[in-house]
Amino acid sequence: MGERKKYINEIHKFTICVPVPHNPLMPIRAGAVAPLLVIMLTAAARAQEMPAPAPTLTDAYRLFYNARYEEAAGLAMALRATAGQDLENDEVRTSALLFQLRGLLNGQDARDDDSKTEKSEALKRCGRCAEVMAAFMDDLHHGQALARSKLKAKPTDEEALFFLGKLDLNYVWLELGLLGHKTGWDEYWEGRKSLDAVLKQNPNHVRARVARGWIDYIVNTRMPWGTRWILGGGNKKRGIASVREATTMEADAWTRAEAEFALWDLNVREKNFGDATVLAQKLGRQFPENREVARFLARRVH
């Protein structure tokens, strides 16, 4: 759109310079039209020659929310060549790799009645899972170390606190949700503490509110009662309420998308298909390439 507008403005600028005949009813002579045509063609060629803008992390978000997880992870990696490997890059890439891994495992979290053998066999049958998981762990450890070093220098660093909590949540979700391993306690406590610190400083931090809601939900739904009690109980109702509240708060487009996708996922898990369908219809309009949303709507809307 920007190139088109520039092209139109270029034409307009030169159009007003064309001599107007003394008699307004007299047609413009060919000698006056020819230079205008040359200018128009030159402007069009110049617009076509303009290089496309360099991709940014915003493009990785766009790919992620359109369920193009492998491409999002690949772009995040490519951007490190020029923009470096910072906390946001690590978080975007680990999130994309987590969802890519979920897709490789047929888009399902581990079930409570899965045996250890069944889970191991599913991973063995997955040709690319080991590669994706190794990449996830590399980025996870890089991001955790970077956030911890920042917090050592400044314990109240809101960005470092949030990204440490979000990276820990990604790991907890990998182990508890996707693989069904009852592990990740250290990351759980660290993530919970970090996100609580963010929300204490800034109650309007939408992403921290969403991540904190997920932690409550995971502990309540993926841990046995005894372990739940040790980890602080968890509370799926509180977790869902936290995420729902986040969707009503003021935020940028990508943060709002994260909150709405989280609430949609939670409603699907809870079999609240009416609310899930309303959210999916909205998300489908925003992200028409998202095949996961499209498949859900195809099953629910007739």
Band of the pLDDT at 177, cuts 50, 70, 90? confident
User: What is the end-to-end Cα distance of the chain in Å, rounded?
Assistant: 36
Q: pLDDT tens digits, residue range 95-147?
A: 999 999 999 987 666 554 444 556 677 778 888 999 999 999 999 999 999 99
Over range 17-46, report the average pLDDT. Answer: 54
* Vertex 110 angle, CA 139 and 209, to 5°: 55
CA distances to 107, 175, 204 from 264, in Å:
15, 22, 21
Over range 29-45, report the average pLDDT. Answer: 58
pLDDT of residue 205: 98
Residue pair 213/199 in contact (Cβ under 8 Å)? The answer is: no
Spatial separation of the C-alpha atoms in residues 296 and 238, rounded to whole Å: 25
What is the DSSP track for 196-214?
HHHHHH-TT-HHHHHHHHH
Structure tokens at 79: 């951007």
pLDDT of residue 235: 79
Q: What is the largest CA-CA distance in the chain?
A: 94
Spatial separation of the C-alpha atoms in residues 189 and 64, rounded to whole Å: 27
**Higher pLDDT among residues 205 and 126, named by residue:** 205
Residue pair 278/263 in contact (Cβ under 8 Å)? The answer is: no
Structure-token match 């920007």, residue found: 2
Q: pLDDT tens digits, residue range 42-94?
A: 665 555 666 778 899 999 999 999 999 999 999 999 999 999 999 999 999 99
pLDDT > 90 fraction of the chain, expressed in percent and rounded: 61
Question: % helix / strand / coil in the chain, to the nearest 5?
Answer: 75, 0, 25
Band of the pLDDT at 7, cuts 50, 70, 90? very low
3-state secondary structure of 119: helix
pLDDT exceeds 60 at position 21:
no
Spatial separation of the C-alpha atoms in residues 92 and 194, rounded to whole Å: 18
What is the C-alpha R_g of the chain? 26
pLDDT of residue 206: 98
pLDDT of residue 56: 94
Least confident of 60-64, 96-100, 230-234, 248-252: 230-234
pLDDT exceeds 50 at position 19:
no
pLDDT of residue 109: 64
Q: Looking at this protein, which amino acid is placed at residue 230?
A: I
Least confident of 29-33, 127-131, 223-227, 255-259: 223-227
Mean pLDDT score across all residues of the chain: 83
